A and B are shown apart, each in its own frame.
Chain A
């Protein structure tokens, strides 16, 4: 049972445009959501997070939106840069449970 789903295995965006990565979850107990970025042969790097009591969190070029009723979150990157090319993982957690549940990842490619 995949509780966190990233339905797009890959996404290609032109440099300077907006990248939108999507994530859906099924467990309504999740109350904290995170996005990680991963380059090949490296560990995931924490990008941005959002609590279930918020619907938006912004950090520089990165904004995460949460729609609790739809059990959906998205990561917006504006403007997209070549260095943003990586695999992005959405993750969810129940506070205090310590177990991150990851989606399958979306490979983002930024084209010049």
Chain B
């Protein structure tokens, strides 16, 4: 299984809502990532988890809260977002060591009203 799955595919939320994005992989990868991608831009790294521990936080605002419940799952909790947070949110996974190709999920298209 070489797939990273993400749910939901689309999400519309108001600025006062709380929602969560979910990501799952069954490739045995122990590194998982959250990226944000705006139109016509490359993916922008937000968070990295290695062995279920947060290893990189790219100075992301606290209204984004990541969680890694186990080695296969990665969540991104959203609260009090701004319209400028509307983007495609991508999850990826990879091996921790060695040359680590990152495999991406299909993304969640988030719209903040």
Query: How long is the Cα–Cα vector from A73 to B40 in the complex, in angstroms?
Result: 22
Q: Does the CB pair A100–B105 fall under 8 Å?
A: no
A85 at the interface (CB under 8 A from B): no
Q: How large is the interface on A (under 10, 10 to 19, 20 to 34, 35 or more residues)?
A: 20 to 34
Chain B contact residue count (CB 8 A cutoff) = 30
Q: How many Å from the CB of A49 to the closest CB on chain B?
A: 6
Q: Does the CB pair A43–B99 fall under 8 Å?
A: no
Query: How long is the Cα–Cα vector from A42 to B100 in the complex, in angstroms?
Result: 21
B21 at the interface (CB under 8 A from A): no
Q: Does the CB pair A43–B42 fall under 8 Å?
A: no
Chain A residues closer than 8 Å to B45, beta-carbon distance: 99-100
Q: How many Å from the CB of B65 to the closest CB on chain A?
A: 20
Q: Does the CB pair B42–A102 fall under 8 Å?
A: yes
Q: Does the CB pair B104–A32 fall under 8 Å?
A: no
Q: How many Å from the CB of B59 to the closest CB on chain A?
A: 13
Q: Which of A41, A44, A51 contacts B99 (CB 8 A)?
A: A51
Complex: chain A residue closest to B49, CB-CB: A98
Q: How many Å from the CB of A75 to the closest CB on chain B?
A: 15
Q: Which residues of B contact A (CB under 8 A)?
A: 4, 6, 31, 33, 40-43, 45, 48, 50, 55-56, 88, 90, 92, 94, 96-107, 109
Extra pairs beyond A43-B92, A46-B102 (19, CB < 8 Å): A34-B102, A41-B88, A42-B106, A43-B6, A43-B106, A45-B104, A46-B103, A89-B43, A93-B99, A95-B98, A98-B31, A98-B33, A98-B48, A98-B56, A99-B48, A100-B45, A100-B102, A102-B43, A104-B41
* Contact sample, A vs B, 13 pairs, CB 8 Å cutoff: A41-B107, A42-B106, A43-B107, A44-B104, A46-B101, A95-B98, A95-B99, A98-B33, A98-B94, A98-B96, A98-B100, A100-B43, A104-B42
* Top-6 shortest CB links A-B: A102-B42, A43-B104, A32-B99, A44-B104, A43-B106, A43-B107
